[in-house]
């Protein structure tokens, strides 16, 4: 059963807690979840696909859970998505109705409201593990967003793999303030909690103070993206308030080493870092019981196999230095892009390997470090292959730098020249010299631009293609 802790028979027999989910000022027990979500299931059973405006509310929780009980695929739609992108998602997915909250522009779809206090105890057969649970749309950096088909089997496998890696049990209280339309917040945070059976607290706004309060309320397993952790570290009191937690987890983007170190210094916890994507879910992680190395995302989870492919198509050595394209085999892989067999074939081979589009290095112990995206983070300059992430890590250690993004700009002589966009108060000349002293000279930026802010999406990921448009 995908949402194992919501087994109606077990809940009816008393396997309930009074505070299973806390979100947006609403507290739901497991009995509340089963009764209200089953009422939702009765209203959507038989639908092909439903769209859910994925704001962090109790209505969203019940909409997603109800559709999963009924075996209806859910399309989580960000509340802040633009009108054109929303229309594309709705048309491409074939969503038949809005379930839960209704956006201002409904695009002509009917609306099925969620009633928090409605109850039904109808029993639904568990859908096939191979059935699609979610259709999650990617960011669309290379064209219109693509719908990623995520099966129930993949979600269950990933949660179980992470439970083993993080020693995650029903005794935990999981805390996060992340969106409910991506893997991190929705699959790991919410569905993970409903499978494992732990208590779940959504902080609402992901402020340092809200995170600190949630840990004070018993939070033991805390999820955040680097932007959140950076703000927590900047607020020393909130970082110190993380000390009672059992495990801090960072993902969705690379965690800067100074933030890793700051969390360790203030809270006594070295954060766990992990790696994955919408297409693969989470496949790599450092372990609750193992080494946590700043800037490295750990080992393959149980059942996951990786390989590193060099530019000439051969296997890249696992020497901790050589950069290669990362490929993954995993029971958590997606079933393809909706309506896009051509795009699916580009990234999934006939023998089951997924080409992640990321470049990485692997050391002799099997630890992985993600260099970045092949398209924007692998810089080919003067005959050298250079990872933007390595330069960013060094620049972030400079006291005059608070944020940085390194890109490869077109250059007639070098092919690409290294350009750093920096938020901070150091001089460009000083930063160029600093990198030249810390790394090989050919890795120094040829240009440093001081900016007020860097473009990011809702998950805090840098939008480097926006920076490259300047060139």
Q: Where are the beta strands (DSSP E) in 166-207?
A: 173-176, 199-202
Q: In what order do the strands lie in the sheet with 447-450?
A: 401-411, 415-424, 447-450
Domain 1-13+28-127 part of CATH 3.40.50.980:
yes
**pLDDT over 90 percentage in the chain:** 75
Rg, Å, the chain Cα set: 22
Mean pLDDT over 320-338 rounds to 96
| DSSP per-residue codes, 113-132 | ---TT-------PPPPTTSE
Q: What is the pLDDT of residue 141?
A: 52
368 bridge partner residues: 298, 362
pTM: 0.87
Q: What pLDDT does 8 receive?
A: 80
pLDDT digits (tens, 9 = 90+) for 185-197: 999 999 999 999 9
Q: Please tell me whether residue 220 adopts helix, strand or coil conformation.
A: coil
User: Which tokens is 414 given?
Assistant: 């070098």
pLDDT of residue 364: 96
Please report the pLDDT score of residue 170 as a whole number.
Answer: 95
Secondary structure (3-state) at 305: strand
Give me the pLDDT at residue 10, please. 67
The tokens for 209 are 């103070």
Average pLDDT of the chain is 92
pLDDT at 17 > cutoff 60:
no
Reported as a single tens digit per residue, the pLDDT across 51-63 is: 999 999 999 999 9
Strand ranges inside 80-187, DSSP E: 98-99, 111-112, 132-137, 147-151, 173-176
Helix residue ranges per DSSP H, 1-151: 8-12, 30-44, 58-70, 83-93
Instruction: Give me the CATH topology for the region 378-468.
Output: GMP Synthetase; Chain A, domain 3 (3.30.300)
Task: Provide the pLDDT for residue 140.
Answer: 53
Element of type H or E holding 381 = strand 378-381
Q: Show me where the domains of the chain are located.
A: 1-13+28-127, 378-468
Q: Which helix (H) or strand (E) holds 329?
A: strand 324-329
Band the pLDDT of 397: cuts 50, 70, 90. confident
When pLDDT is averaged across residues 296-309 and rounded to a whole number, the result is: 97
Q: What is the predicted pLDDT for the residue at 464?
A: 86
Give me the residue label for tokens 């309930």: 16
Summarised one tens digit per residue, pLDDT across range 73-118 is 999 999 988 888 899 999 999 999 999 999 888 888 999 999 999 9
Residues 6+ apart with CB under 8 A from 320: 361, 362, 363, 364, 367, 369
Q: Does pLDDT of 14 surpass 70?
A: no
Q: Which distant-in-sequence residues (6+ apart) come within 8 Å of 427 by Cβ?
A: none
143: pLDDT strictly greater than 90: no
> What value does the mean pLDDT take over residues 185-210?
97
pLDDT confidence of 301, banded at 50, 70, 90? very high
Q: Is the predicted pLDDT of residue 268 greater than 60, yes or no?
A: yes
């Amino acid at each position: 059963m995908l949402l194992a802790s919501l087994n109606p028979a077990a809940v009816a027999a008393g396997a309930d807690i009074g505070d299973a989910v806390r979100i947006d000022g609403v507290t739901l027990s497991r009995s509340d979840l089963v009764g209200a979500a089953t009422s939702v299931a009765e209203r959507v059973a038989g639908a092909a696909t439903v769209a859910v405006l994925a704001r962090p509310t109790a209505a969203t929780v019940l909409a997603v859970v109800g559709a999963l009980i009924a075996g209806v695929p859910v399309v989580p739609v960000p509340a802040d998505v633009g009108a054109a992108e929303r229309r594309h998602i709705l048309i491409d997915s074939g969503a038949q109705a809005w379930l839960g909250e209704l956006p201002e522009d409904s695009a002509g779809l009917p609306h099925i409201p969620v009633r928090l206090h409605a109850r039904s105890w109808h029993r639904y057969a568990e859908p096939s593990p191979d059935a699609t649970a979610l259709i999650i749309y990617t960011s669309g950096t290379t064209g219109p967003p693509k719908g990623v088909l995520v099966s129930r089997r993949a979600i269950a496998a990933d949660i179980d793999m992470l439970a083993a890696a993080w020693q995650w049990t029903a005794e935990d209280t999981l805390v996060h303030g992340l969106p409910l339309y991506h893997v991190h917040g929705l699959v790991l945070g919410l569905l993970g909690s409903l499978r494992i059976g732990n208590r779940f607290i959504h902080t609402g706004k992901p402020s340092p103070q809200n995170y600190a309060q949630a840990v004070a309320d018993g939070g033991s397993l805390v999820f955040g993206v680097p932007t959140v952790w950076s703000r927590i570290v900047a607020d020393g009191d909130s970082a110190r308030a993380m000390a009672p937690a059992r495990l801090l987890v960072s993902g969705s983007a690379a965690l800067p080493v100074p933030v890793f170190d700051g969390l360790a210094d203030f809270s006594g916890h070295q954060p766990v870092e992990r790696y994955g994507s919408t297409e693969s879910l989470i496949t790599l992680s450092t372990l609750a019981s193992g080494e946590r190395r700043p800037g490295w995302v750990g080992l393959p989870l149980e059942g996951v196999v990786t390989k590193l492919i060099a530019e000439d198509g051969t296997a890249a050595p696992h020497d901790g230095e050589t950069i290669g394209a990362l490929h993954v085999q995993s029971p958590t892989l997606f079933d393809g892009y909706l309506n896009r067999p051509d795009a699916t074939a580009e990234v999934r081979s006939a023998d089951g390997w997924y080409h992640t589009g990321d470049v990485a290095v692997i050391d002799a112990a099997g630890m992985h470090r993600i260099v970045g995206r092949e398209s924007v983070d692998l810089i080919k300059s003067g005959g050298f292959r250079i990872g933007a992430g390595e330069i960013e890590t060094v620049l972030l250690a400079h006291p005059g730098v608070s944020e940085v993004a390194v890109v490869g700009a077109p250059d007639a002589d070098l092919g690409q020249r290294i350009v750093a966009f920096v938020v901070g108060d150091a001089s460009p000349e000083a930063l160029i010299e600093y990198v030249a002293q810390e790394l090989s000279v050919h890795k120094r930026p040829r240009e440093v631009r001081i900016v007020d802010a860097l473009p990011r999406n809702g998950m805090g990921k840098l939008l480097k293609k926006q920076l490259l448009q300047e060139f």
